[in-house]
């Protein structure tokens, strides 16, 4: 068998390179997740890393390893945001000129932050894979060194320092769960963890709409997805990297997928219960724990890979996550169109403890009878049981709930 492209020695060298540059991020306990799993669960807070994600680790190691001639030519990268910021800061710290290609729909805060670190930002394509092609063309034309977001041994080695920290902070760990896009983070963690603790289970988590690894592992080689779709832009990658794929194929115990609803619920849990701002990609390991808590042997360490979330996306995700958790209730019902009818309805809702967020009152729809009015309500509730209780209160009061 051919030697793997990244070794424990490479990860340890990367750690020495990163001394004084990256933070040893905190490992926080989660009582909520621990109760669900039935064993200790700890959160590795890479969302609190410099630039807001783990990406600085790999980017800095890659650029620090360049020759003086290569540094003089500058570097170019492609990313939806986190790798972009990592490259931009790493290049600035090392005095290297950086150009970054970002997809057209990259979150605006990530674009602004990348520019803020001093990089020249160019938008290109709809997804990261297209931006990668644009950056590679630029590298060919200008001589700049292309810094791949995940498919390079130095990048994987840099990300592997997360694994070393986990073993030091939680020596008793039994399972490590990390998000999976192109594979750099998971591969690096697997190299470090399996070399020192082969008994530890390493699990990757992909968004179901961008899950290129399951078919690739089944085929034995990277298989591209035609159109990866997920709100988790940090792991929205259409094709596994060749370097991390070899490592993940050999060392990772399981790859799981999670839905958009599960990602939203996980992000909400991180914010509400752990008091941590996490982007959807960073919440993927938590989503896997929520989806099937009995599948994980503890102690578990879930890697929160990043926290660079667009506020507009955060608003939508939180609203969606609250709805999925039974914290919002939307319904329609018919009223008799007479004075005081709406006030009587609101009195029932108030008595049931439901908070009205929005209300729509329609009288003129031709579908309605002469004395009918349709009311659409959006309510804030305390959970699924409260939703059921509100519906029961309305029916007991004589209202026909339509949806």
Q: Which residues are registered as beta bridge partners of 377?
A: 331, 359
Look at residues 304, 307, 310 and name the one whose alpha carbon lies nearest to residue 289: 304
Look at residues 236, 239, 237, 231 and name the one whose alpha carbon lies nearest to residue 263: 231
30 is catalytic: no
Instruction: Write down the H helix ranges in 95-178.
Output: 108-116, 128-142, 153-159, 161-169
Inter-residue contact 264 to 171 (CB < 8 Å): no
Cα end-to-end span (Å), the chain:
60
Which residues, 6+ apart, have CB-to-CB distance to 245 below 8 Å?
A: 183, 187, 213, 216, 221, 222
Q: Which residue has the tokens 């989806």?
A: 291
Inter-residue contact 269 to 290 (CB < 8 Å): yes
Inter-residue contact 204 to 256 (CB < 8 Å): yes
Look at residues 160, 158, 155 and name the one whose alpha carbon lies nearest to residue 191: 160
Query: Residue 341 has which token pair?
Result: 């009818």
Inter-residue contact 22 to 161 (CB < 8 Å): yes
Q: How far apart are CA 289 and CA 401, in angstroms?
A: 35
Look at residues 279, 28, 281, 291 and name the one whose alpha carbon lies nearest to residue 166: 28
Q: Kind and range of the H or E element at 68?
A: helix 68-73
Look at residues 85, 91, 94 and name the one whose alpha carbon lies nearest to residue 114: 85
110 is catalytic: no
Torsion of CA 291, 294, 300, 301, to 10 degrees: -10
Query: Residue 78 has which token pair?
Result: 């492609």
Question: Of 55, 80, 110, 216, which residue is the catalytic one?
Answer: 55
Which residues belong to the active site?
55, 305
């Amino acid at each position: 068998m051919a030697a793997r492209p990244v070794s424990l020695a490479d990860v340890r060298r990367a750690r020495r390179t990163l001394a004084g540059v990256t933070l040893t991020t905190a490992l926080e306990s989660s009582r909520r997740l621990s109760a669900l799993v039935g064993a200790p669960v700890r959160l590795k807070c890479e969302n609190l890393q410099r630039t807001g994600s783990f990406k600085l680790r790999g980017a800095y190691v890659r650029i620090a390893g360049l020759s003086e001639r290569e540094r003089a030519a500058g570097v170019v990268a492609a990313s939806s945001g986190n790798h972009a910021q990592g490259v931009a800061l790493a290049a600035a710290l090392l005095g290297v000129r950086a150009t970054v290609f970002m997809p057209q729909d990259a979150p605006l805060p990530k674009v602004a932050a990348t520019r803020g670190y001093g990089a020249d930002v160019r938008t290109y394509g709809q997804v990261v894979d297209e931006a990668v092609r644009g950056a590679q063309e630029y590298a060919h034309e200008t001589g700049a060194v292309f810094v791949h977001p995940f498919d390079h041994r130095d990048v994987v080695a840099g990300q592997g320092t997360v694994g070393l920290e986990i073993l030091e902070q939680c020596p008793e760990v039994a399972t490590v769960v990390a998000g999976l896009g192109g594979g750099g983070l998971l591969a690096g963690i697997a190299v470090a963890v399996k070399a020192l603790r082969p008994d530890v289970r390493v699990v990757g988590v992909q968004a179901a709409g961008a899950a290129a690894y399951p078919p690739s592992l089944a085929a034995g080689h990277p298989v591209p997805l035609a159109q990866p779709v997920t709100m988790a832009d940090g792991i929205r990658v259409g094709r596994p990297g060749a370097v991390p794929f070899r490592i993940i194929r050999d060392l990772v115990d399981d790859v799981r997928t999670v839905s958009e609803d599960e990602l939203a619920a996980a992000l909400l849990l991180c914010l509400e219960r752990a008091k941590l701002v996490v982007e959807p990609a960073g919440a993927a390991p938590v989503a896997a724990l929520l989806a099937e808590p009995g599948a994980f042997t503890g102690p578990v360490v879930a890697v929160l890979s990043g926290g660079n979330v667009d506020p507009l996306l955060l608003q939508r995700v939180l609203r969606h996550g609250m709805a999925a958790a039974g914290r919002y209730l939307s319904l329609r019902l018919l009223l008799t169109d007479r004075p005081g009818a709406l006030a009587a309805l609101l009195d029932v809702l108030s008595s049931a403890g439901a908070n009205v967020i929005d209300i729509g009152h329609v009288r003129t729809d031709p579908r309605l009878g002469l004395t009918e009015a349709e009311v659409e309500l959006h309510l804030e509730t305390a959970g699924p049981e409260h939703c059921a209780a509100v519906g029961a209160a309305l029916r007991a009061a004589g209202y026909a709930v339509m949806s």
